[in-house]
A and B are shown apart, each in its own frame.
Chain A
């Protein structure tokens, strides 16, 4: 699996944008980049994923570097509900079957009111 590096924690203020970085320098050409988050006492929650182009959905935007060695999850206007651990997960293509995603330690995002 591609190795990822994320800050252990980040802090932001409510209603401000948040940029969560992830380095995945060993990513292979067929890996998608997935982002999940885990709110306190809940299961992980899918946020967004992409391959090469930047992606937007109702939760967030994903900016992928041209060389694909890094990506940034953007929360446009953080709320207190966005306080969670955010995981960046390159998905290795195994050539078949349903492979499990590998969660790292993630970034603990703290939102100040």
Chain B
């Protein structure tokens, strides 16, 4: 069964550094998402992306965050200047169409020191 893959599985970075989290969504999917989950807390929506532009974003997704689909397969989340509070699991998801099942990757654990 096709799956969403995320790399790296764990990223450690220093405060103030830029990080790029990478995702390869399922190939025929059109909608792409990033979520995050701080340890012990809820899964939180960050942003959705369709037709090469952001469709919706949450309050968490401020100017420090950006997303890109640089080619036909990758979907990336960039954090420009990481803060300690950005430490979390970041999940990428994709769906074939609006309101159909979201398929999630297994996440990238980001640790900011």
Contact = CB atoms under 8 A, between A and B. Distances in A.
Interface of A: 32, 36, 38, 41-46, 49, 87, 91, 94, 97-105
Interface in B58-113: 58, 91, 93, 95, 98-99, 101-107
Contacts of A49: 101
Give the most central of B43, B93, B101: most A CB within 10 Å. Answer: B43
Nearest to B109: A41
A45 B99 CA distance: 15
Interface string B47-64: 111100001101000000
Judged by DSSP, the binding face of A is: loop
A43 B104 contact: yes
B104 A103 contact: no
B83 to A, nearest CB: 22
B18 interface: no
B25 to A, nearest CB: 13
Contacts of A97: 48, 50, 55-56
Interface residues of B, number: 28
A99 B50 CA distance: 11
Given A38-B43, A101-B45, A102-B45, A44 B56 contact: no
A97 B53 CA distance: 10
Contact of B101 (A42, A46, A99, A102): A46
Given A32-B99, A46-B101, A91-B99, A100 B56 contact: yes
B40 to A, nearest CB: 11
A43 B101 contact: no
Given A45-B104, A103-B42, A104-B42, 6 more contacts: A36-B102, A43-B104, A43-B105, A98-B55, A100-B47, A103-B44
Contacts of B46: 100
Nearest to A100: B45
B80 to A, nearest CB: 22
A105 B42 contact: yes
A101 B56 contact: no
Given A44-B43, A103-B42, A98 B33 contact: yes
